[in-house]
């Protein structure tokens, strides 16, 4: 069985812009335990007070599967481990597992530590031995192992032997600079296994060359039975091995046995997104397996094939990792895209075969004018229904006006006036807001509320603006997307508008958002 060692809470936090509070780390620890991660590295107690506070809090948590590890270095040169402040700090947090790193590369031994190769071996062996004598399971991280091996294979292997003699339970080969290639990893892993055939060998890679995940999987093929990495590849510089990539590949592609099984794997997407969200980080939607784009299909040929045989353009079933298939609507869409969207919306498009083609042509024309329908399925749905002859216009705009006033007393005052027509009756309403769109939203609701009281549960959740051609300066077309939602069932949807006028583009997206929300309410009734 391959053991998974997560270092999100330590190595992951060394990435730029990544910081977890003590409370954040506790929440992540619980989720990693529920996911059946074998080891969770909580931090470096000798480096900062926050990590010490976390270990104090973690001491009261009953873990069902994960073993908590504290991280640190070997003792200093010309000193005994029992007198080393770093090792004392590690022992003081009372974790069952201790992970320490030592030097494998002559460059670091002589130029960084400024000591002899012999003294470095002594530091490794004695530090491991001392920690083992304190009833700790010791994992040894051989820092810069691949660079060290390429410079002097014999000495790099000697450092592993020193840790083994000290009693380390696992010897981890670290590509600390992240510059190794899969072929090098395969060769060095083979040599290491030949030297240490009975030992548990781990792999810890960084992504500076874009090879972290490939190097990790290559190491597994070469006999590694312990993997270190972080969720979403967080980590210093270009990051670490991405466990959200490696874990599903091991289970689904390489048929390796892990504590994590097919029953818990559907939690992968949620866990991945939670870690980014709690760290207040922007989630990269092109992440393999867990990103929104991972199973998003845009081209009409692709969509047509996927609808017939999912395997034709999907390497796994998205539900295996807790993700979902998405069909994007754009100028590249075909009838299959429309059919898929209609089916998802509960629309019988088969009874209106001409509607799909007309909808495709309109969407292509609108995208040529600056609209972007990717992710704006609600606006696309309204177009389909229009061509099916379904009434989607709950109200008609007569006119609107917005004004923004900056007052000398301080602050900005925004007001919108909207006049709409419903059932041959015209109504005018005034709204105030933090900006023109917010004010228009309020005014529109006031104007239609007497006819559609259900609009009260529909609200504007998010608003985004994108300039399509920045070279056009102030004449550029802007594309506005609005995320609307319903308080009653917490369902959300996205609409789009585009124009050279920001307010006009915003009105178009807002009108669609309210219309789609009312249409949902009507269908529910």
Chain segment 426-484, per-residue pLDDT in tens: 989 999 988 888 999 999 989 999 889 999 999 988 888 888 664 445 557 889 999 99
Q: Please return the burial class of 243, using the count of CB atoms within 10 Å of its CB with bins 0-12, 13-18 and 19+.
A: buried
Band of residue 335 on the pLDDT scale cut at 50, 70, 90: low
pLDDT of residue 407: 72
Let me know whether 241 and 338 are in one domain: no
Of 326, 352, 387, which residue is a domain's last?
A: 387
pTM: 0.74
DSSP tally for the chain: helices H, then strands E: 17, 16
Range of the domain at 325: 298-387
The CA distance from 244 to 272, in Å, is: 7
DSSP letters spanning 333-401: --HHHHHHHHHHTT--GGG-HHHHHHHHHHHHHHHHTT---TT-HHHHHHHHHHHTT----S-EEEEEE
Same domain, 353 and 407: no
* CA–CA dist 157, 191 (Å, integer): 9
Q: Is 283 contained in some domain?
A: no
- Tell me the C-alpha distance between 374 and 379, whole Å: 10
Tokens of 358: 């007309």
Q: What are phi and psi of 162, to 5 degrees?
A: -65, -45
Q: Are strands 396-406 and 326-327 parallel, antiparallel or unpaired?
A: unpaired
Q: Give the per-residue pLDDT at 469.
A: 60
Residues near 425 by beta carbon (within 8 Å), at least 6 away in sequence = none
**Nearest by Cα to 222 from 254, 190, 251:** 190
User: Is 250 within 8 Å of 258 (Cβ atoms)?
Assistant: yes
pLDDT in tens, 287-325: 999 988 788 777 667 766 766 777 777 888 889 999 887
Strand 412-422 and strand 396-406: pairing? Answer: antiparallel
**Tokens linked to 118:** 């012999």
Of 281 and 180, the one with more pLDDT: 180
Q: For residue 215, how far is the Cα from the chain centroid?
A: 21
**Any domain includes 278:** no
Q: How many Cβ atoms sit within 10 Å of the Cβ of residue 448?
A: 20
**Is 86 among the domain residues?**
yes
Residue 21's CB is within 10 A of a number of other CB atoms, namely 13
Final residue in a domain of this structure, among 237, 261, 285: 261
Q: C-alpha angle 377/380/384, rounded to 5°? A: 130
Which has the higher per-residue pLDDT, 276 or 47? 276
Angle between helix axes 436-448 and 502-524 (nearest 10 degrees) is 40
- Crossing angle between the packed helical segments 377-387 and 335-344, to the nearest 10 degrees: 100
CATH code where residue 443 lies = 3.30.160.270
Same domain as 178, residue 50: yes
Query: Distance between CA atoms of 197 and 354, rounded to whole angstroms?
Result: 68
Do 333 and 218 lie in one domain? The reply is no
Say if residue 238 is in the same domain as residue 313.
Answer: no
pLDDT at residue 328, as a whole number: 63
254, 330: one domain: no
- Which of 322, 355, 387 is the endpoint of a domain? 387
DSSP of 82-108, one letter per residue? Answer: GG-HHHHHHHHTT-SEEEEEEE--HHI
Number of domains in the chain: 3
Indicate the range of 270-284, 385-399, 426-440, 473-487 predicted with least confidence.
Answer: 473-487
313 shares its domain with 448: no
Same domain? 381 vs 409: no
Q: Do residue 122 and residue 238 come from a single domain?
A: yes
**Is residue 105 over pLDDT 60?**
yes
Q: Per residue in 147-180, pLDDT tens?
A: 999 999 999 999 999 999 999 999 999 999 999 9
360 and 462 fall within a common domain: no
Same domain flag for 8 and 142 = yes
Rounded to whole angstroms, the Cα distance separating 298 from 341 reads 12
Q: How far apart are CA 484 and CA 500, in angstroms?
A: 23
More confident site: 206 or 338: 206
* Bridge partner list, 323: none
Residue 209 resides in a domain: yes
- Domain shared by 404 and 448, yes or no: yes
């Amino acid at each position: 069985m391959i053991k998974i060692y997560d270092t999100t809470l330590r190595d992951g936090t060394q990435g730029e812009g990544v910081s977890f509070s003590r409370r954040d780390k506790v929440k992540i620890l619980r989720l990693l335990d529920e996911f059946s991660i074998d080891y969770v590295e909580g931090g470096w107690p000798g480096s900062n007070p926050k990590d010490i506070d976390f270990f104090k809090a973690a001491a009261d948590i009953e873990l069902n599967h994960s073993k908590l590890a504290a991280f640190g270095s070997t003792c200093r040169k010309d000193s005994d481990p029992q007198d080393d402040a770093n090792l004392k700090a590690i022992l003081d947090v009372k974790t069952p597992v201790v992970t320490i790193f030592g030097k494998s590369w002559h460059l670091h031994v002589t130029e960084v530590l400024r000591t002899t190769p012999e003294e470095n071996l002594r530091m490794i062996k004695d530090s491991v031995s001392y920690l083992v004598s304190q009833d700790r399971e010791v994992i040894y991280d051989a820092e810069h192992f691949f660079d060290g091996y390429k410079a002097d294979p014999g000495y790099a292997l000697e450092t592993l032997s020193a840790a083994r003699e000290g009693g380390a339970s696992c010897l981890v080969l670290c590509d600390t600079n992240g510059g190794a290639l899969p072929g090098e990893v395969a060769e060095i892993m083979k040599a290491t296994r030949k030297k240490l055939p009975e030992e548990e060998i781990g792999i810890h890679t960084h992504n500076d060359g874009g090879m972290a995940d490939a190097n990790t999987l290559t190491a597994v093929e070469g006999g590694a039975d312990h993997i270190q990495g972080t969720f979403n590849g967080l980590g210093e510089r270009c990051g670490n091995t991405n466990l959200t990539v490696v874990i599903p590949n091991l289970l689904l592609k390489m048929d390796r046995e892990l504590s994590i099984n097919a029953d818990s794997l559907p939690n992968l997407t949620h866990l991945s997104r939670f870690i980014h969200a709690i760290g207040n980080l922007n989630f990269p939607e092109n992440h393999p397996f867990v990103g929104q784009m991972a199973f998003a299909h845009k081209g009409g040929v692709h969509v047509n094939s996927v609808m017939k045989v999912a395997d034709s353009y999907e390497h796994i079933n998205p539900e295996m990792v807790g993700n979902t298939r998405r069909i994007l609507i754009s100028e590249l869409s075909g009838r299959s895209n429309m059919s898929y969207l209609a089916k998802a919306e509960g629309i019988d498009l088969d009874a209106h075969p001409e509607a799909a083609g007309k909808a495709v042509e309109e969407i292509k024309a609108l995208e040529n004018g600056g609209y972007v329908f990717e992710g704006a399925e609600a606006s696309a749905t309204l177009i389909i229904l229009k061509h099916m002859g379904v009434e989607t216009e709950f109200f008609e705009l007569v006119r609107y006006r917005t004004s923004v006033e900056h007052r000398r007393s301080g602050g900005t005052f925004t007001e919108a006036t909207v006049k709409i027509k419903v059932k041959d009756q015209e109504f005018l309403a005034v709204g105030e807001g933090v900006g023109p769109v917010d004010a228009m939203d309020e005014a529109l609701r006031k104007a239609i509320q007497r006819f559609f009281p259900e609009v009260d549960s529909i609200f504007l959740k998010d608003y985004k603006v994108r300039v399509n051609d920045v070279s056009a300066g102030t004449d550029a077309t802007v594309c506005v997307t609005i995320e609307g939602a319903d308080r009653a069932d917490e369902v959300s949807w996205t609409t789009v508008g585009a124009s050279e006028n920001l307010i006009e583009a915003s009105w178009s997206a807002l009108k669609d958002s309210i219309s789609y929300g009312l249409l949902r309410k009507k269908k529910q009734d």
